[in-house]
A and B are shown apart, each in its own frame.
Chain A
């Protein structure tokens, strides 16, 4: 058994569109142990969803894996055929999507859509699958499961549908659950309920979770490890404490500054990150964040920053950190 459940090394992935090659992932590495919760944070188009989807082999056409190793639970994902991937999807890795209103097929009953995945990956017959589906609905906190199994998605509320999506994802007791902005489309109160439910189920079933979100509040409360992504790269990685109390990358700092705080004075404005995300069709030669960075230096525009480590876990890719660490090292001598 490998040490890590998920071990992505130097993944590079591009989408080949009519306009040209979009470099969606550049040198992304992620490690996750069994039962751990990793948060991937970043703005739209930063590659956070693509990283997770590539683990499930869901980035097919026009996406193409150009390099790196993707290891999951002893499988080498990059060498697997579509047929082999199908045995893993919905079974060892499951996913819940952003919008529960559209993620369930409107013309089939809830029961049909849950038992479908059970029958696909286990030897259970219809009656056993139905019993399991009922059990799952109870597990995700849906009342009157017998009645719900016969209902169609449009007869349920958004929060209820997301619970059904979670039930489908957990049907085969996956090792890894990918949650792709699971609460973005829900009301605030329902958001909290869903997150609570996910954490409760994680403790009960012991699965690992990759939480993809742009909501720093969500990762702060749930995740042990956080990866901050920008323009298809992980720019900073660390524990929740590292990221929130000791952010190193200018982008991470900007993200944290832009969170509304309880102690903010009434007329104080939030500080946005100026500028727009880079065009991944023509990525710059240097640090992709440099054009928006207050502290950018000449070298930032020319060359990609190397990794600067702060301890075992926490690292960033920023010239400024590199410079500070170098100066610190020099002053010690």
Chain B
């Protein structure tokens, strides 16, 4: 196990380096720059700014400089948000997104797993049909539609929920619903199909032949086998969800990290693009390792090498 984790950490470093390199060059190939604006600034000022941030150097030189300082933990200053380091932006915005996203994942799991199980157990009955329709809607309807509908009914028509900000617990309700809609639907479908698969397995028949009661059969023998696909999905999904959604954060005016991704790209804020990308890549990699370890715990047949 320890050997496996060391191996995965080394592999993670290589992966992050590859992601950083690819992002760096692609980003620089896109036309435009951080200091171009509609209001033209003097060529001297532009040159001075570029010199200050090292943008006047050749691309490869800049890449080497970036990698060296990033390896030392210095991700630089934001090019657009004056006086703030990339690190400080991430550490300030990430907790906000993580709270909303984390709650959403929690909601998705607590709703998706039981509903998926119910659909599988009641296969072909009314409950299954209702759950399947809801799940299909959840996957098909884009989040901005859900956000708008929620806002219209609960915020405007009924006036019971606040439509912007995150001041109180009540403020979390709509963003969390909107964010958890898709993963809930996805988990329901995963859970339904893997549960159906497990219910047809021979060891389920053995469990019944032992004289075990239905609940024990379901929770002990079926669930642990059926949960594996959900574990696989939830790992990376958690990484993406806690780093924030641009759409949901924009609509509900949440000061999270999701908006920063888009803002950085639109503004060619090179250092912030690099910082947020590396941050997300790291989270995804970490979650994948966690998934592997959870897998090993749930299913002893899995060998971690």
Contact = CB atoms under 8 A, between A and B. Distances in A.
B279 to A, nearest CB: 35
Interface stretch (B186-194, B202-210, B239-247, B249-257): B202-210
B73 interface: no
A190 to B, nearest CB: 18
Interface string B44-64: 000000000000000000000
Interface residues of A, number: 28
Interface string B113-142: 000000000000000000000000000000
Nearest to A178: B209
A97 B205 contact: yes
A255 interface: no
A106 interface: yes
A94 B205 CA distance: 12
Interface of A: 56, 58, 85-91, 94-95, 97, 99, 102-108, 116-117, 120-121, 152, 154, 165, 168
Given A99-B202, A152-B300, A154-B301, A105 B209 contact: no
A106 B301 contact: yes
Nearest to B124: A18
24 contacts: A56-B209, A58-B208, A87-B211, A89-B211, A90-B209, A90-B210, A91-B211, A97-B205, A102-B201, A102-B202, A103-B203, A104-B203, A104-B206, A105-B207, A105-B221, A106-B203, A106-B225, A107-B224, A107-B298, A108-B220, A117-B210, A120-B212, A121-B211, A154-B300
Interface residues of B, number: 20
B205 A90 contact: no
B299 interface: yes
B71 interface: no
A90 B220 CA distance: 17
A107 B299 contact: yes
Given A105-B221, A106-B301, A154-B301, A97 B206 contact: yes
A107 B295 CA distance: 11
B213 interface: yes
A95 B205 CA distance: 10
A121 B212 CA distance: 10
A174 B301 CA distance: 32
B210 A116 contact: yes
B261 to A, nearest CB: 39
Report which residue of A87, A95, A121 has the largest number of chain B beta carbons within 10 angstroms of its beta carbon: A95
Contacts of A56: 209
Contact of B299 (A85, A89, A91, A106): A106
B205 A58 contact: yes
A58 B209 contact: yes
A158 to B, nearest CB: 13
A86 B206 contact: no
B301 A89 contact: no
Contacts of B201: 102
Nearest to B209: A95
Contacts of B298: 107
A152 B300 CA distance: 7
Contacts of B205: 58, 97, 103
A106 B295 CA distance: 13
A152 B203 CA distance: 14
Contacts of A106: 203, 225, 299-301
Contacts of B206: 97, 103-105, 165, 168
A117 B211 contact: yes
Contacts of B213: 86
A102 B225 CA distance: 13
A88 B210 CA distance: 9
Nearest to A105: B203
* Most chain B beta carbons < 10 A, residue from A88, A107, A120: A107
